Amino acid sequence: MLSANQIQALLEGVSLTLRVFALAAVLGTVLALLFGIASLSDNRVLRWVSRIYVEVARGASAVVLLFYAAFAVPILLGVRSGRSFVFWAAVVALGVNMGGYGAEVVRTGIQSVPRGQTEAAISLNLRFIDRLRHVTLPQALVVMLPPYGNLSIEVLKATALVSLVGLADLTAEAQNLRVQRAVSGPRAATSLAIFGTALVFYFVMAQLLALLFRWLEQRLAGDWYRGRS
């Protein structure tokens, strides 16, 4: 079994994992909304820019983006890389990757709103931004939430990759414990306990995230029922 110190180390990893996840999720959501809405624009240039963004952000994969951001981007920018640079590079890489998938969720969500809704909003003389805020987005949200919940869990899982570029997240802490045991311990039977515990921590975080989204979906359904939007 794991000692209190080992559990402590894993929990410190959890804290970094959660910070990377939260920041990447915020960035990813902003990018998803921006590019998702831009992909439905009347402007052809905007549509193309968002198409290219989506293809590259998804196609490059989280791990390739992460290594590029952590090791090639500092040279590109001519800056000295340090621990905090790598942290923000990881947040940006995961956020950009999530934004690519999220933009598609936003796009299909908005497209699922019947055309008549937009036409009615136009005939009521609502500006583009008000149409989005008061008419299309609230209705699209119902369709967007379930895939968005799945996407968030994928991003949570992807945070494990940051251990590969030297950040001390849950996965990295588990690896550290394993290496320490290999050096000092009598037998590495504890590696089962170490990685088993790390997996359970990830599982619990993912389940909490799933619960949060289920709660949001129910709340949204309640709002609909009461006639608010």
Partner 1 sequence: MFAQVAFSWDWDYALDTLPKIARGLWQTVVATIVGISIGMVLGLVLALLRRSRHRIIRWPTIALIEFVRSTPLLVQLFFIFYVLPNFGVVLSPFVALVLGLGIHYGTYTSESYRAGIENVEVGQWEAATALNLSAATTWSRIVLPQAIPTVIPALGNYLVAMFKDAPLGFAIAAGGILLEAQAEASRSFRPMEPYTIMGVLFLAVSIPAAFFVRYLERRYGYERV
Which residues of the chain form contacts with partner 1 (CB under 8 A)? 55-56, 58-65, 67-68, 71-72, 75-80, 153, 157-161, 163-164, 171, 174-175, 178, 187-189, 191-192, 195-196, 198-199, 202-203, 206-207, 210
**For the stretch 158-168, what's the b/e string if a residue is b when 16 or more beta carbons lie within 10 angstroms of its beta carbon?**
bbbbbbbbebb
CB of 111 to partner 1, least distance (A): 13
Residue with Cβ nearer partner 1 (26 or 204):
204
Residue with Cβ nearer partner 1 (136 or 163):
163
CB of 197 to partner 1, least distance (A): 10
Give the contacts of 209 (CB within 8 A, at least 6 positions apart).
149, 152, 153, 156
CB of 59 to partner 1, least distance (A): 4
Residue with Cβ nearer partner 1 (55 or 130):
55
Q: How far apart are CA 97 and CA 53, in angstroms?
A: 10
Residue with Cβ nearer partner 1 (39 or 135):
39
Mutual angle of helices 44-59 and 4-38, in 10-degree steps:
150
Q: How far apart are CA 132 and CA 47, in angstroms?
A: 17
